[in-house]
Chain A
Amino acid sequence: MAPDTKHLEITLETQVESVNLAEEMCLRVAEAAGFGEDDCYRIGMSVREGVINAFHYGNQERPEKKIHLAVDLTAEKMIIHVIDEGAGFKLSDVPDPLLEENLLSTSGRGIFLMRAFMDEFDVLPGRTGGAEIVMSKKFPAAGSLSPNGQSGQDAKPKKEA
């Protein structure tokens, strides 16, 4: 880890409340780091979807399993890791929710939303045997912000159009 990287991690219970908790925590980090309103919404939604994926698909809603959430703030971007204790999965096995035959599916849009809302997205084998979702959002003007968002004019939150 680079010396100027700020790191935060938390272990969550496999329960619905963890979804809101994770979203709220990452929203606060994103706001403090200087992301604007639109980016905060996208980050919050992506964290939410990542933890829903870990809760439902990864850990199969089994309460004895944990969800591991980590956030790294570098000078360029906010990186989020969501790790479950399930069996893992391959991105190539996830159905495309935009295909005509999947449009009326009642599930399967979480991965799509994370990919759409974040700048980088991948799924790796997790350290605990499950899946590790890694996704990042770059600062609007990379290099003009410090990780705490206190420098540069671009640190001011954007107004939604």
Chain B
Amino acid sequence: MSLHATHRDAGPVTVVDLSGRITLGDGSALLRKTIRGLLDDQRTRILLNLADVDYIDSSGIGELVSGYTAVKNRSGDLKLLHLTKKVRDLLQITKLYTVFDVFTDEPTALRSFV
């Protein structure tokens, strides 16, 4: 299953709803293109909704980190919402769970950007 991405504005925050797999090739490329596009539009507060992402490989992890760094370099924030068990486990064993702000409900996540 390839990756699909749509985004919506919630005040100053852009919520990116992702579904599918973030893996080497099209999935990682789409995530990169989406984040870079938002930064080009001066949208620097980004919440990635990963509720429907059930698989990420090392390339996808690298792309998440790359996006996080790119947003931070623009004095913005990139946070994660609704991790599936597999994705949460992956972020925990790679210690990235301590890097990203991770939320389980959207209103709390949106308030955290203020």
Q: Give me the interface of A with B, judged by CB distance under 8 Å.
A: 16, 19-20, 41, 45, 48-49, 52, 97-98, 103-107, 109-110, 112-113, 116, 160
Contact = CB atoms under 8 A, between A and B. Distances in A.
B87 to A, nearest CB: 12
A104 B24 CA distance: 18
A91 B36 CA distance: 34
Contacts of A113: 57-58, 90, 93-94
Q: How large is the interface on B (under 10, 10 to 19, 20 to 34, 35 or more residues)?
A: 20 to 34
A97 B93 CA distance: 10
B114 interface: no
B62 A109 contact: yes
Given A103-B95, A104-B99, A52 B57 contact: yes
A45 B54 CA distance: 12
A103 B57 contact: no
Nearest to A15: B25
Interface in B56-92: 57-59, 61-63, 65-66, 68-69, 85-86, 90
A97 B94 contact: yes
B80 to A, nearest CB: 15
A19 B24 contact: yes
A114 B59 CA distance: 14
A52 B24 contact: yes
B66 A106 contact: yes
B72 to A, nearest CB: 9
Interface in B30-65: 57-59, 61-63, 65
Interface of B: 23-25, 57-59, 61-63, 65-66, 68-69, 85-86, 90, 93-96, 98-99
B24 A107 contact: no
12 contacts: A48-B23, A52-B57, A104-B65, A104-B68, A105-B65, A106-B69, A109-B61, A109-B62, A110-B58, A113-B58, A113-B90, A116-B93
Contacts of B23: 19-20, 48
Contacts of B93: 113, 116
Contacts of B58: 49, 52, 107, 109-110, 113
